[in-house]
Every structure is written in C-alpha cells, then in structure tokens.
Amino acid sequence: MASGATLISFDKVWKSYGQGEAKVHALAGVDLAIRRGEFVAIMGPSGSGKSTAMNIIGCLDTPTAGTYNFMGIDAGRLDRNRRAILRNLYVGFVFQGYNLLPRTTAVENVELPLIYRGVGARDRHDLAMKALAEVGLVGREHHTPAELSGGQQQRVAIARAIVTRPTLLVADEPTGNLDTARTHEIMELLTRLNTELGLTIAMVTHEADVAGYAERTIRFLDGHVASDGMNFEVA
C-alpha cells in the first residue's frame, strides 16, 4: 500500500545500445514514478523496454541519459561499486528460476544475504527462520530445493529476498515456472508482504491475471510508457 512519498523516479530516461545506424533506443525519454509501499506490475512485449527499465530500477544498470532517482539518490550517476552497496542495503530480488543453491537447505539459502552483511551465525539463523515463517514454510526449513515443490522453492527465494528487510522488492516473472494454483498462492503472498511489511514491489509479468494483483500496471511499448493506471481489485 503506497504511503505517498516517491521512492523511484525516472526523468526523461534514455537507454541506448550500439553506435551510428546500429544504435537502438531500449528506453526513449521515459518518465515514471513509484511511491513508497506501492505494488506495481510492469508489462509489455519482448523488446518493449520493460526489462531495461527493471534493470535500472534494481540498480543493475544506468541510464544513457536522463535521471534515475532512488530514495533521493541520483542512482544513475553512481559507479558500479556504489550501486552494489545500494542494492545490497535496499533491494531484494526474486527471479523466475528461483536461483537457490541446490545442496543447501532452505534456511541456509535464506541466510546468504546476511552472510554478505557480516551478521553473526546465531542472529543470521534466527532472522532466516523468521523470514521462512513469514512465507509459510514452517517445518520445511531444513529441506533442500530438491525436496521442495516449485511453489515452495519460490517461497524460499522470497524469504531470501526479504530477510534483509529491503525497501524495494524487484520481482522478474516470479510465477513464470508455476502452475495456476501455485501462481495464485505466490501472488497472495506478495500482496500480503506488500500490505503487512509496507514492501514496495516492482514486478515484471506477461500475464494479465498476475498483474491484476498489483495496485497499478505500467505498460511499455517501443521504449515508451504506453499506459500507466490503477488496477481494479482481483476478485
């Protein structure tokens, strides 16, 4: 649920690749804003610019021109190391493919971001167990990914993304590998985390019913924002 303060803003953002006649504009002067606590779906066909926009939002890439502002910081002008610090402190990521370590238990997977932060073993374990409880995996903490269903593996990935209490969750096709029932379970979980934790979520999806769980949908086409509007509540 949005609180009104702007967390993310694009001001005439361009992203170009190549030189001369081969130059391609993945983003062409995009303006947009996402408020703190908002749940936004980002849609568009292949090549529309949505993935490029998400890479910039997640501080994985920078604009060629224009300004990307994140939490009051001109993130587009930061060098790679400073963007990495910003990501580690404030951004969590969830991907279509889960990206879990296969021989590592659920709780050990969730502990990973805390290891990078230098959190002690006992605190790390406690925080990871709490995050797994928040995503509904009590009793599954010591299972490896091979012992978990696809939906459960994605819950572990979400727990890993939220264990550091990020300001922003970037979700790239988070239900792309799941059946319909598991898809709705994961979307209900993300909706609850958005509401209960005040987590800002930016989610790429190609499925309209998945986008419907968000408060708002931004549609990209040919490097531009083609539409940007609030969603009706999903029944």
**Average pLDDT value for residue range 98-107:** 94
CATH classification at residue 155? 3.40.50.300
Domain hosting 146: range is 38-63+84-230
What is the distance between the alpha carbons of residues 39 and 22, in angstroms, rounded to a whole number? 36
Q: Is residue 155 a part of any domain in this protein?
A: yes
* Residue 113: DSSP 8-state: H
200 DSSP β-pair partners: 168
Who wins on pLDDT, 96 or 187?
Answer: 187
Does 216 fall in a domain?
Answer: yes
Identify whether 163 is part of a domain: yes
In this predicted structure, the answer to whether residue 65 has a pLDDT above a threshold of 60 is: yes
* Domain-located, residue 235: no
Helix/strand/coil for 223: coil
d(C-alpha 207, C-alpha 188), whole Å: 15
Backbone dihedral angles phi then psi of residue 214, each to the nearest 5 degrees: -75, 165
Q: What is the pLDDT of residue 233?
A: 53
> In this structure, is the dihedral angle defined by the CA atoms of residues 114, 62, 43 and 232, taken in order, positive or negative?
positive
Q: What is the pLDDT of residue 2?
A: 55
Rounded Cα–Cα distance for residues 25 and 135 (Å): 39
Would 72 be classed as within a structural domain?
no
Residues 162, 168: contact at Cβ < 8 Å? no
Report the predicted TM-score, pTM, of the whole model to 2 decimal places: 0.93
Mean pLDDT on 19-29: 92
pLDDT, one tens digit per residue, over 180-204 is: 999 999 999 999 999 999 999 999 9
- What is residue 1's predicted lDDT score, i.e. its pLDDT? 56
194 lies in some domain: yes
Write down the pLDDT at residue 234.
45
pLDDT above 90 for 60: yes
Count structural domains, the chain. Answer: 1
Is residue 110 in a domain?
yes
Would you say residue 8 lies in a domain? no
